[in-house]
Amino acid sequence: MQTDKKYTIVGTDIEEVKRLNANSGLTYNELNALIAKTNGQGSGQYRDTDSAQVE
């Protein structure tokens, strides 16, 4: 019986990694597109910079 699973040299299940990545949220490019589309409005929740410290 042959298995359809594909593994890397160190034994990582490639399909499992792809499945987990698909469920992990926005990609870097998707997030950039969202910020560009909204002109950054509402993106403060993703920022960890203290604006008082920057001024």
Q: Are 13 and 5 in contact (CB under 8 A)?
A: yes
Q: Is the pLDDT of residue 53 over 80?
A: no
Helix, strand or coil for residue 31? helix
Percent of the chain whose predicted confidence (pLDDT) is above 90? 20
What pTM was computed for the model? Answer: 0.42
What CA–CA distance (Å, rounded) separates 26 from 40? 16
Query: pLDDT by residue (tens digit) across 29-43?
Result: 988 888 888 887 776
Q: Where are the domains of the chain?
A: 1-39
Q: Say what the pLDDT of residue 38 is.
A: 84
Query: pLDDT by residue (tens digit) across 9-19?
Result: 999 999 999 99
The distance of Cα 4 from the centroid of its chain, to the nearest Å, equals 27
Helix, strand or coil for residue 2? coil
